[in-house]
Amino acid sequence: MIAVEHAVLNTDGGSRGNPGPSGIGFTLCVDNGRELLTLTRGGAFIGVATNNVAEYRALIWGLENAAALSVQKLEICADSELLVKQLKGEYKVKNEGIKPLYRQAQQLLAGFPAYSIRHVYREDNSEADVLANEAMDQASEVGDAVVPYISNDLFGGMALEAAQPARSSPISTDTSTPTSSEGDRMSSTGTYTLTVKEHFDAAHALVGYPGQCRNLHGHTWDIEASVSGTELDEVGIVYDFKDLKSALLEILDAYDHHYLNEVPPFDTLNATAENLARVIYEQLAAKLPAGIKLEEIAVWESPIAKLTYRQ
């Protein structure tokens, strides 16, 4: 078989319930200089798992297919920030159920002469996401993968068991009230809301305003972002404060120490607190994972002046 010099691998995994029925998907493409051409693609239903387990299994399956095609230089794209940062050594792998999947992924990666891995947003990973969801809908394998998905019994269900209370089967018909320790680890019917606050310094001028604010002036803008969710991960977290702050800071960096009236979209949109709140809301909402809802963005122009935007 002729080796593939350079290929791009997109992977995605998801769970409907976390843990719940789960699917994985991948696409492996080559760039001919004008467009990406698909070498192989696939989606598979993997039974009951967590989101993180599905993300790792999608990567492992994609790596197996890339290895089968003798890819020499592999560019990996995934929308799981946790997976990417763990594989790059930025986060430690603490969950016992993830550790064997992490080791298998590392072993496969070591077989490529060269590779890179980076985080992408959901909209840049749409085809792998579609394959994962199609596999969940059909409860079967889809696509034309070179290496078919084989349920890996090597881990003996460890990846799922480490993420949820021990029980005889994934779905229980027991209607008794769970113990407090079991109930604490199960998905609750409540909603968790978390808020982070960051700031940036920038100047603006309000076009058409009938007062002094029409002139150039500056603020230390404090930005609050509140998100909510109902499902906890295997650690017991609805969404990491650190991930939310990172996403918010990435947006605010474009405005920090700038004249807002010259920064898109405010070069054509009046740089009011109202417009700023709405634009930040739309930018941040696009960065959030499935299951996490952006509740509101609050903009503080001063310690006594706050504006809130929500959809």
Q: Is residue 34 part of a domain?
A: yes
Lowest mean pLDDT among 103-117, 229-243, 278-292, 293-307: 229-243
Place of tokens 């963005």: 297
Q: Is the pLDDT confidence value at 1 over 80? A: no
Beta strand segments in 205-279, E = 217-229, 258-259
Do both 196 and 157 map to the same domain? no
Band the pLDDT of 162: cuts 50, 70, 90: very low
32-47 mean pLDDT? 89
**pLDDT confidence bin for 152, thresholds 50/70/90:** low
Say if residue 228's pLDDT is above 50.
yes
Residues 74 and 136 in one domain: yes
pLDDT value at 135 more than 90 = yes
Same domain membership, residue 203 and residue 124 = no
- Residue among 256, 234, 103 at smallest CA distance from 164: 234
What total of structural domains would you count in the chain? 2
SS3 243: helix
User: Residue 181's pLDDT band (boundaries 50, 70, 90)?
Assistant: very low
Regarding whether 206 and 106 lie in a shared domain, the answer is no
> Is residue 224 in some structural domain?
yes
- Which domain CATH number covers 247? 3.30.479.10
> What per-residue confidence (pLDDT) applies to 17?
84
Decide if pLDDT at 175 tops 50.
no
Q: Is 182 inside a domain boundary?
A: no
- When mean pLDDT is compared across 59-73, 121-135, 187-201, the lowest value belongs to 187-201
176 part of a folded domain = no
Angstrom distance (rounded) from CA 241 to CA 226 = 10
- Select from 161, 177, 212 the last residue of a domain: 161
Residues 6+ apart with CB under 8 A from 6: 30, 31, 71, 72, 73, 74, 75
Query: Which one has a higher pLDDT value, 169 or 54?
Result: 54
Half-sphere exposure of 157 (CA within 13 A, CB side): 11
Q: Do residues 157 and 18 share a domain?
A: yes
**pLDDT, tens digit, for every residue of 75-122?**
999 999 999 999 999 998 888 889 999 999 999 999 999 999 999 998
Question: Is the pLDDT score of 179 beyond 60?
Answer: no
Q: Looking at the domain assignment, is residue 88 inside a domain?
A: yes
The pLDDT confidence band at residue 153, using thresholds 50, 70 and 90, is very low
Residue 189's pLDDT band, with cuts at 50, 70 and 90, is low
**Structural domain of residue 223, as residue ranges?**
192-309
Query: Would the pTM of this model clear 0.85, i.e. be above it?
Result: no
Same domain, 148 and 11: yes
- Out of 142, 161, 180, a domain closes at 161
**CA 141/CA 154 separation, integer angstroms:** 20
CA dihedral 181, 103, 21, 29 (to 10 degrees): 150
Number of other residues whose CB lies within 10 A of the CB of residue 139: 11
> Residue 159 pLDDT > 60, yes or no?
no
Q: Are 131 and 213 members of one domain?
A: no
pLDDT at site 3: 83
Distance CA(29)–CA(119), nearest Å, equals: 17
Would the pLDDT of 172 be above 50? no
Q: Between these two residues, 300 and 183, which has the higher pLDDT value? A: 300
Please determine, for residue 221, whether its predicted confidence score (pLDDT) is greater than 80: yes
| Cα 132 from Cα 160, distance rounded (Å) | 18
Nearest CA to 23 out of 47, 56, 52 is that of: 47
Answer whether residue 17 is part of any domain.
yes
